[in-house]
Structure 1
Amino acid sequence: MLAACARPPAPPDVLGVAVASAPETLDPRFATSAVAQRLAALVAAPLVVIGDDLRPKPLLAEAIDAVDPLTLLVKLRPGVRFHDGTPVTADDVVFTLGSMKDPALGSPHATRLTHLVALEAVDERTVRLRFDAPTPPFLVDLHAWGILSRRTCAASRDACRDAPMGAGPYRVAKGLGGDERLVLAAHDASPLPPPGIRTVEVRVIRDNTTRLLELMDGRTQLVVGDLLPTDVEAVAGDPSLVVERAAGLGFSYLALNARSGPLADERVRRAIAHALDVDAVIASKLKGRALRASSILPPGHWAHDDALAPPAFDPALAERMLDQAGWPRRDHGMRFTLRLSTTTDRLRRATALAFADMLGQVGVDVRVEVRDWNALYQDIQRGAFDAFSAKWTPVIEPDLLYWVFHTSSIPAPASAGAPARVGGNRQGTSDAALDAILEEARRTDDPAARAALYRRAEARIAGATALVPLWFEDELVIRSSRLTGFALGRTVSLLPIAASRLE
Structure 2
Amino acid sequence: MTLKLRLHSLLLGTIASLCLGAPAALADLVNPPETVRVGLDVDSLSLDARLAAETTSYRLDDLLYDGLVRLDENFQPKPALATSWETPDPLTLIFHLREGVKFHNGQPLTADDVVFTYTTMVDPNLNARSRSLYEPIDSVTALDEHTVQFKLKEPYAPLFSYLDLGILPRAAAEGNAEFGSAPIGTGPFRFDSWLRGSQINLVANPDYWGGEPAVKKIEAIVVGNGSARAQAMEAGDLDLIYSPLPPAEVGTLSANAKLSHSVVPSVSFIYVNFNTADPLLSDPAMRTALAKLIDQATIVDQIYGGLDQAAASILMPAFPWAYDASVTQPTFDVEAAMAELDALGWKVGADGIRAKDGKQLALTIGTNSEDAERVQSIEYIQNVFTSAGIKTELQAVDYPTFMKGNQGKTYQISFLSWGNLVDPDRAMYGQLHTGGNFNWGSYSNPVVDAALEKGRSESAPEARAAAYKDAATQIAKDLPYYIVAHQRLHAFTSEKLKGFEPDARGFLTDLAAPAK
State if a TM-score over 0.5 links the two structures. yes
- Residue 29 of structure 1 aligns to a residue whose secondary structure is helix
- Aligned-residue RMSD, C-alpha: 2.5
Change beyond 3 A, Cα 1:160–1:340: closer
Work out the CA distance in 1 between the residues paired with 2:288 and 2:129.
32
Are 1:212 and 2:237 matched, yes or no?
Answer: no
Q: 1:312 aligns with which of 331, 346, 349?
A: 331
Change beyond 3 A, Cα 1:352–1:30: same
Change beyond 3 A, Cα 1:81–1:261: closer
Instruction: State the one-letter code of the partner of 1:233.
Output: G
Q: Would the aligned equivalents of 2:367 and 2:396 in 1 still touch at CA under 8 Å?
A: yes
Q: Would the aligned equivalents of 1:79 and 1:189 in 2 still touch at CA under 8 Å?
A: no
Q: Give 2:163's aligned residue.
A: 142
**TM superposition score normalised by structure 1:** 0.87
Work out the CA distance in 2 between the residues paired with 1:150 and 1:264.
43
Q: 2:470 aligns with which of 456, 461, 474?
A: 456
Q: Give 1:342's aligned residue.
A: 367
Aligned length: 475
Percent sequence identity is 29
Instruction: Give, in angstroms, the shift of residue 483 of structure 1.
Output: 0.8
Q: Give 1:67's aligned residue.
A: 88
Q: Give 1:36's aligned residue.
A: 57
Q: Would the aligned equivalents of 2:278 and 2:412 in 1 still touch at CA under 8 Å?
A: no
Q: 1:98 aligns with which of 109, 116, 119?
A: 119
Larger mean CA deviation between 486-495 and 131-140 belongs to 131-140
Q: 2:512 aligns with which of 488, 498, 502?
A: 498
Q: 1:126 aligns with which of 137, 147, 150?
A: 147
Instruction: State the one-letter code of the partner of 1:68.
Output: D
Work out the CA distance in 2 between the residues paired with 1:178 and 1:208.
19
C-alpha deviations, 1:381-416, integer Å up to 9, x for none?
A: 34333212111112222223121112223xxxxxxx
Q: Would the aligned equivalents of 1:359 and 1:366 in 2 still touch at CA under 8 Å?
A: yes
Change beyond 3 A, Cα 1:263–1:119: closer
Q: 1:160 aligns with which of 176, 179, 182?
A: 179
Work out the CA distance in 1 between the residues paired with 2:362 and 2:123.
44
Q: Would the aligned equivalents of 2:43 and 2:196 in 1 still touch at CA under 8 Å?
A: no
Q: Would the aligned equivalents of 1:297 and 1:303 in 2 still touch at CA under 8 Å?
A: yes
Match runs of 1:245-324 below 5 Å: 245-301=263-319, 302-324=321-343
Instruction: Give, in angstroms, the shift of residue 266 of structure 1.
Output: 1.8
**TM superposition score normalised by structure 2:** 0.85
Instruction: Give, in angstroms, the shift of residue 28 of structure 1.
Output: 0.3
Change beyond 3 A, Cα 1:430–1:196: same
Work out the CA distance in 2 between the residues paired with 1:79 and 1:260.
53
Instruction: Give, in angstroms, the shift of residue 466 of structure 1.
Output: 2.2
Q: 2:255 aligns with which of 220, 237, 254?
A: 237
Change beyond 3 A, Cα 1:149–1:270: same
Q: Would the aligned equivalents of 1:170 and 1:184 in 2 still touch at CA under 8 Å?
A: yes
Q: 2:438 aligns with which of 412, 416, 424?
A: 424
Q: Would the aligned equivalents of 1:298 and 1:395 in 2 still touch at CA under 8 Å?
A: no
Work out the CA distance in 2 between the residues paired with 1:259 and 1:368.
20
Instruction: Give, in angstroms, the shift of residue 159 of structure 1.
Output: 5.9
Work out the CA distance in 1 between the residues paired with 2:329 and 2:421.
18
C-alpha deviations, 1:191-248, integer Å up to 9, x for none?
A: 5343111221222223333322322232221123453333212324323222222112
Q: Would the aligned equivalents of 1:82 and 1:167 in 2 still touch at CA under 8 Å?
A: yes
Change beyond 3 A, Cα 1:85–1:265: closer
Work out the CA distance in 1 between the residues paired with 2:246 and 2:112.
43
Which has the bigger relative contact order, CA under 8 A and spacing at least 6? 2
Work out the CA distance in 2 between the residues paired with 1:264 and 1:247.
34
C-alpha deviations, 1:275-308, integer Å up to 9, x for none?
A: 2221122111111111111233311413332321
Change beyond 3 A, Cα 1:197–1:378: closer
C-alpha deviations, 1:351-408, integer Å up to 9, x for none?
A: 1111122233433332222223333333333433321211111222222312111222
Q: Give 1:58's aligned residue.
A: 79
Larger mean CA deviation between 240-249 and 450-459 belongs to 240-249
Q: Would the aligned equivalents of 1:181 and 1:201 in 2 still touch at CA under 8 Å?
A: yes
Q: 1:372 aligns with which of 398, 402, 407?
A: 398
Q: Would the aligned equivalents of 2:451 and 2:471 in 1 still touch at CA under 8 Å?
A: yes
Work out the CA distance in 2 between the residues paired with 1:32 and 1:385.
18
Work out the CA distance in 1 between the residues paired with 2:208 and 2:252.
38
